[in-house]
């Protein structure tokens, strides 16, 4: 787990400024797992960075562990489009599968 990330710091700045886009895939995944956008946005400052992908082809992104309003874990991939400074893009969000992740949902099995 990463403690700091320049990518995620920039993403949080963009979210705070209201410069956010949700991908079509992100909306589909949010809906299928019963996750509300407002919960993801409200809890972004309490996120734990799990993985960072600075060279991702569509732009730098990070996988973070957040919690919803009920305190249930969710994984969110946040990114910034390649060759751009904004917006923060919610690429996907899902409820982690306990069979694929450690008990604390921070490490892949």
Task: Evaluate whether residue 57 is within a structural domain.
Answer: yes
Mean pLDDT of the chain: 94
Under a CB-based contact definition with an 8 Å cutoff, are residues 75 and 107 in contact?
Answer: no
Task: Evaluate whether residue 24 is within a structural domain.
Answer: yes
> Which pTM was predicted?
0.93
What is the number of structural domains in the chain? 1
Task: Evaluate whether residue 26 is within a structural domain.
Answer: yes
Q: Can you give the pLDDT at residue 1?
A: 58
Q: Can you give the pLDDT at residue 10?
A: 96
Under a CB-based contact definition with an 8 Å cutoff, are residues 80 and 11 in contact?
Answer: yes
Task: Evaluate whether residue 106 is within a structural domain.
Answer: no
Say yes or no to pLDDT of 2 above 70.
no
C-alpha to C-alpha distance for 70 and 10, rounded to whole angstroms: 27
Say yes or no to pLDDT of 79 above 90.
yes
Say yes or no to pLDDT of 107 above 90.
yes
C-alpha closest to that of 30 among 85, 63, 77: 77
Q: Can you give the pLDDT at residue 51?
A: 95
Task: Evaluate whether residue 62 is within a structural domain.
Answer: yes
Which range marks the domain in which residue 83 is found? Answer: 6-94
């Amino acid at each position: 787990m990463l403690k700091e990330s320049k990518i995620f710091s920039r993403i949080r700045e963009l979210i705070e400024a209201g410069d956010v886009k949700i991908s079509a895939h992100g909306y589909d995944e949010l809906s299928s797992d019963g996750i509300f956008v407002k919960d993801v946005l409200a809890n972004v400052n309490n996120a734990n960075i799990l993985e960072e992908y600075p060279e991702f082809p569509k732009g730098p992104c990070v996988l973070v562990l957040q919690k919803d309003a009920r305190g249930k874990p969710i994984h969110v991939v946040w990114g910034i489009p390649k060759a751009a400074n904004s917006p923060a893009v919610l690429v996907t969000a899902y409820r982690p599968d306990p069979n694929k992740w450690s008990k604390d949902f921070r490490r892949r099995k």
